[in-house]
């Protein structure tokens, strides 16, 4: 005859596997790229592109950014609502900087481009906040 303790242990393991897998499946992966262009000391263009990753991204999550979330699962709306925090976070990740400067007839023209290459981010939405972490 089987012991009831053995069955409870099996059911506990099964429940914990289901809960753990559901927690890991709620995190989604998104590809984010960012470009910021300043022309002659004036903001010329700022572009933030976000798309869902079609395949699983490789890498381990790095330092995360936690943004306040009001039960929204739309990453683009969340980032636009917290754009200042997100842009500051992206600058800390490291941007590629390209600067061109020309002087013609004593007039200086400059163009500076800051670019975050397309990076895979793991995003986990909760009721009150969202965790965003780049994968490297």
How do residues 92-133 score in pLDDT, each as one tens digit? 888 899 999 999 999 999 999 999 999 999 999 887 889 999
| Contact status, residue 29 vs residue 57, Cβ threshold 8 Å | yes
On whether residue 110 sits in a domain, the answer given is: yes
On whether residue 14 sits in a domain, the answer given is: no
Three-state DSSP at 3 gives coil
| Contact status, residue 135 vs residue 61, Cβ threshold 8 Å | yes
On whether residue 74 sits in a domain, the answer given is: yes
Domain count, the chain: 1
* Average pLDDT of every residue of the chain: 83
User: What are the tokens at 120?
Assistant: 């895979």
On whether residue 12 sits in a domain, the answer given is: no
pLDDT reported for residue 97: 92
Tell which phi-psi region holds residue 113, choosing left (phi > 0), alpha (psi between -120 and 50) or beta: beta
Quote the domain boundaries for residue 55: 27-134
On whether residue 96 sits in a domain, the answer given is: yes
Report the distance separating Cα 122 and Cα 64, nearest Å: 9
On whether residue 40 sits in a domain, the answer given is: yes
Between 38 and 19, where is the model more confident?
Answer: 38
pLDDT surpassing 90 at residue 81 = no
On whether residue 3 sits in a domain, the answer given is: no
């Amino acid at each position: 005859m089987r012991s009831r303790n053995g069955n409870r242990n099996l059911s506990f393991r099964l429940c914990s596997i289901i809960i753990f897998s559901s927690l890991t499946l709620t995190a989604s992966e998104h590809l984010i790229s960012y470009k910021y262009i300043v022309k002659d000391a004036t903001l010329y263009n700022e572009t933030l592109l976000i798309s869902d990753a079609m395949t699983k991204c490789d890498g381990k999550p790095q330092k995360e950014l936690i943004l306040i979330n009001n039960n929204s699962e739309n990453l683009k709306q969340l980032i636009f609502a917290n754009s200042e925090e997100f842009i500051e976070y992206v600058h800390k990740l490291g941007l590629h900087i390209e600067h061109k400067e020309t002087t013609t007839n004593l007039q200086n023209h400059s163009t500076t481009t800051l670019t975050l290459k397309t990076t895979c981010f793991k995003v986990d939405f909760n009721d009150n906040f969202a965790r965003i972490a780049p994968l490297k």
